[in-house]
Amino acid sequence: MRLNIVNGQLITPKGILKGSMFIEDGKIIEISSSNIDTPNATEIDAHGKFVSPGFIDIHVHGGGGHDFMDNTIDAFLGIANLHAKYGTTAMLPTTLSCEKTDLLKTLNIYDDANRVNTNGAQFIGIHIEGPYFAINQRGAQDPRYIRDPDPDEYKEILLASKSIKRWSAAPELKGAIEFGRYMVCKGILPAIAHTDAIYEDVIEAFNNGYTLATHFYSAMSGVTRRNAFRYAGVVESAYLIDEMDVEIIADGIHLPSPLLKLIYKIKGSHRIALITDAMRAAGMPPGESILGSLKDGIKVIVEDGVAKMPDRNSFAGSVATFNKLVQNIIKLAEVPLIEAVRMASETPARIMKINDKKGSLELGMDADVVIFDEDINIDTTIINGKIVYKNL
């Protein structure tokens, strides 16, 4: 398929360029400040709107009434199609703490769904979230499944699938450092999550491959006191370690404006990845929903733009779509558009080591492109050179 995007404001690594972009065979072939002569190409007139690299969501559980742990191909495709409408062109389907048999089934379904996913956000691997977490920081994770890392278990799981790209765990648990080292040797990113770790734990974890903090601030320790002595937690540690990446749910609820500003001020767009962490209610009306699988998931209430536990004492997941993340980080944290787009594309691509083909508008890169207006309303989503969504 040959596409020629004209009259656009192209968000490139060098700045915003008013011009056109030619796409052929799923790749970006030419970028120019003038019109490109492309016979027999389908022309897309951006009408002065922004042309951006596609958004990459490295932590997402569901949307459109589906959860990846429903363990059906329809659920996987429904989630991918829903989020593509809001600018997501690539995603890491994410699991929750569960029975090992259910997780193994999810991994098998992923491979089947990946082969037939042609109209939604591209799957770029699996993110396993749990079950190796601190019970006090479990959040909405089911406490029945929380446990310490088990080498026999995680080695069996890795043998079952080559699609696992990251695994979130609490680094202070017994066996968690060995777990992290094993992940790294298998080319998998271990990430810090649902944790009561202190600075000394985080330093050791970082030195053994835990270079990403999962949904920063959520379900992790800050400054704590033990026997009258104060200790820096994961939040302070992530700030102190310059090379530590963080991912944030910029829905404006999990993290309010002052915290979004603080994170951006300290870490900068090159170390921040925006994530939806969306559950099945994303893109759906408010009301009752289920976090996790339909079989044995947790009942939640969606109101005020977020999912809550039934007692309303804690959040139970995001219902954000990616365009809202970009919109919020600009408005609530006063981040320039170019930097916001970097957090949505280039930084997550670099974290997942796919920045050689995704995450920026450059020659030879995958043609994953989003066109949106100044309010980040999505006009067109293009994945691998194919138009998968057009706002008519």
Residue 297 CB contacts under 8 Å (≥ 6 apart), including other chains: 67, 69, 290, 291
pLDDT digits (tens, 9 = 90+) for 324-381: 999 999 999 999 999 999 999 999 999 999 999 999 999 999 999 999 999 999 999 9
From the list 28, 48, 46, 47, the residue with the least C-alpha distance to 38 is 28
pLDDT on residue 238 = 98
307, pLDDT greater than 90 = yes
Residue 181 burial by Cβ neighbours in a 10 Å radius (0-12, 13-18, 19+): middle
pLDDT on residue 392 = 78
Element (H, E) at 382: strand 378-383
From the list 322, 314, 313, 288, the residue with the least C-alpha distance to 303 is 288
Query: Domains of the chain (ranges plus CATH)?
Result: 2-51+374-390 (2.30.40.10), 54-353 (3.20.20.140)
Of all residues in the chain, the percent with pLDDT exceeding 70 is 100
pTM: 0.97
**Phi, psi for 82 (deg, rounded to 5):** -60, -50
pLDDT digits (tens, 9 = 90+) for 28-64: 999 999 988 888 999 999 999 999 999 999 999 999 9
At residue 24 the predicted structure's pLDDT band, cuts being 50, 70 and 90, is very high
17, pLDDT greater than 90 = yes
pLDDT on residue 167 = 98
- C-alpha span between 180 and 121 (Å, rounded): 29
